[in-house]
Structure 1
Amino acid sequence: MKVYGDMQSGNCYKVKLLLSFLQIEHEWLHVNIVNAETQTPEFLEMNPNGKIPVVVLDDGRILTESNAILGYFAENTGFIPSHRYAKAKMYEWMFFEQYSHEPCIAVARFINKYLGLPEARLEEYQRLQPKGHKALAIMEHALIHNHYLLGYGPSLADIALYAYTHVADEGGFDLNCYPNIQAWCKRIEKMPNYLSMS
């Protein structure tokens, strides 16, 4: 099995992290998005959307979209709740991650870390700050009385949201303002087979 990605990308890292937690063997192939390696004819043949991560299974079938990939590999594991309502709450957080969290925190981080905060995107970067803080505040509130987002133990929701949250400072978001998130990050980092982004 081959996984195409960039470990500095949260969407790729979350896949790598789950594969590490589950001890699933794979070949990791680095893709440089800044050098437009996702836009080559060969890559677009795998994913016409020109984005990473991409998983090529042993039989040649292809999976894209990070959270869909998480769902595939976590099937029948403890990372997906068996109870119907809890599973729906997990997906609720994963949709939140893609629509309310990632578009602010990941994009701000990309502008700052990858592009060096260019003048042309400074206004966009500043506009993302309050939206990103709103997403973090929602997580902070959810973690007041819970060790994990679903309460009882880690799920795909935690893996999906941990990826960009634990490096949110690289997008200008001070995690010192969110003690519950900081404690949650430390719990995830103590899980067996944890793998850091760097």
Structure 2
Amino acid sequence: MSAYIHAPLPCCHYSVCPAPLPQSVLLYLESVLGQENIYSMFFEMLSRFLAEGAASGLNIIALYVTDILRVTGVDVQLPFPHFTAEGVASAGQWALLALIGYWVLSIILRLLVGVVRRVFWMLKAGMALWLFGLIVSDAKAGSDTTAVRLASLVLGCALLGLASSGSEKTVQVEDRMSILEGRVKVVERRKGEE
């Protein structure tokens, strides 16, 4: 009975071991293979696992859909025999590439639209100043003619300003709405956590 009392603690006890077993294995692998290789292997294994899972799920869904269609009297043959992990991974990569391309293209188009708006505003202001100079410098025109020309110029500038500001206000309203939606989601998450 006294032998059981004086028995040494097992090695896996946290006060004796310097690190838990999984952490020590990870540290050993990092020292042998390098940290970057460990993370790339981890992400490769994770992507392979997700692709295989998605392929299995899609195969099951395709099987159920074809069975349901056969029961309803529609004879259907899928154009492909089954989903593969490589096909799902390839489609995922293309989808990711398309998403990144869409994001970059939308940023470039917003920048171009902003530049075109500024250039259009500068052209409009330059044209208005040039027409104002022509109207005022016409010595042969009477005061009534000059007043009508200036009123037409002011009306034209006002109409162009309304036409261009309407689209700007729409973009500003959409931006404010997306900001408000984000804030509402944050508040809802906080309420859900409480």
Shared fold (TM-score, shorter chain, > 0.5): no
Larger Rg belongs to: 2
Of structures 1 and 2, the one with the larger relative CO (CA 8 A, separation 6+) is 1
Question: TM-score if structure 1 supplies the norm length?
Answer: 0.22
Question: TM-score if structure 2 supplies the norm length?
Answer: 0.22
Kindly indicate which of the two structures has a greater share of residues assigned to helix. 2
Kindly indicate which of the two structures has a greater share of residues assigned to strand. 1
